[in-house]
Amino acid sequence: MTVAEGIRLAIGGILMLGGLFIFVSSIIGNFRFPDAATRMHSAALGDTLGILLVFAGLAVLCFSMEFLLKLGIILLMMWVAGPACSHLVSGMIAGEKPEKKEEKRKK
């Protein structure tokens, strides 16, 4: 292993392990948070930052132009779709709460 390969391995490994740490903390948050809205916060963390760090680590470790472009397209897709999906789910949560209150009032 040359010096350049060692530096590349260190940078890629730090990015990759950081992404895995983000994913693990997002799962721990998903198990320990009390509410659906707070769980959505921890899920969005893994959806955006975790996938960015893992893909950056992959791009550094196994570099080729084709692979990098495809990873960029997937990352763009996830960054557009993830927050839009969170917005839809938050609308669903906001619609659920008054219904429950009405049921309680009827009782």
Total count of residues recorded for the chain: 107
Our CB check for other proteins shows the closer of 24 and 107 to be 24
* Residue 54: alpha-carbon gap to chain centroid: 10
Rounded Cα distance between 61 and 11, Å, is 8
Beta carbon nearer to other proteins, 95 or 106: 95
Q: Cβ of 15: how many Cβ atoms within 10 Å?
A: 20
Of 28 and 107, CB closest to other proteins? 28
Smallest distance, other proteins to C-beta of residue 105, A: 16
Residues lying near other proteins in the complex (CB under 8 A) are found at 1, 5, 8-9, 12-13, 16, 19-20, 23-24, 26-27, 30-31, 36, 39-40, 43, 46-47, 50-51, 54-55, 58, 61-62, 64, 66-67, 70-71, 73-74, 77-78, 81-82, 84-85, 88-89, 91-93, 95-96, 99
Helices 3-32, 51-61: axis angle to 10 degrees equals 160
Q: How far apart are CA 6 and CA 3, in angstroms?
A: 5
